[in-house]
Structure 1
Amino acid sequence: MAIALFILAGFLVGGVIQLIKSGATKFSVGLVGVLAALAVAGGIAWLLPGDN
C-alpha cells in the first residue's frame, strides 16, 4: 500500500508542476500540493512499524 501512495504522490507532484506552468490559481496549486503531501505522509506512516 505504501508504494501505491508514493506513486500517487508522484502523480500529484507532477500535477502541481503542470498547474504552476499553466498559471493556475494558487488555491488549486495549494490543494493538489496538500494532497501530495498527505499521500507522502500516508506512505511513510504505512512503513512505520507498529501493532497490526
Structure 2
Amino acid sequence: MSTDVAVVLLFTLAGFLIGGAYTLWKTARPVSIGLGICAVLAAAGAVLWLL
C-alpha cells in the first residue's frame, strides 16, 4: 500500500470516528469519548506516517 493511500485512509477513519463521537455525545457520552480518542489516534497516526 502506498504511503498516500494509507494516510488518506487514516484521515478518513478519523473523520468517521469524529462524526460518530459528535452524534453520540448527548446519548452515550463514554462511548463518544472513546470514539474521540480513537479519532485522535488515527489522525496522529496519519500525520506520523507522513513524516
Distance in 1 of aligned mates of 2:19 and 2:32: 11
Question: Which runs of 4 or more aligned residues in structure 1 lie more than 2 Å from their structure 2 counterparts after TM superposition?
Answer: none
How far apart are the structure 2 equivalents of 1:13 and 1:30?
Answer: 10
TM-score normalised by length of structure 2: 0.82
Name which structure has the greater RCO, CA cutoff 8 Å, separation 6+: 1
Match of residue 38, structure 1, among 38, 41, 44: 41
Identity between Structure 1 and Structure 2 (%): 46
User: Which residue of structure 1 lines up, in the alignment, with residue 17 of structure 2?
Assistant: 12
Cα distance in structure 2, aligned partners of 1:46 and 1:35: 16
Gaps of 5+ in 1: none
Which structure 2 segments of 5+ residues have no match? 1-5
Provide the aligned C-alpha RMSD in A.
1.0
Distance 2:41 2:20 in 1: 15
Give 1 or 2 for the bigger CA radius of gyration.
Answer: 1
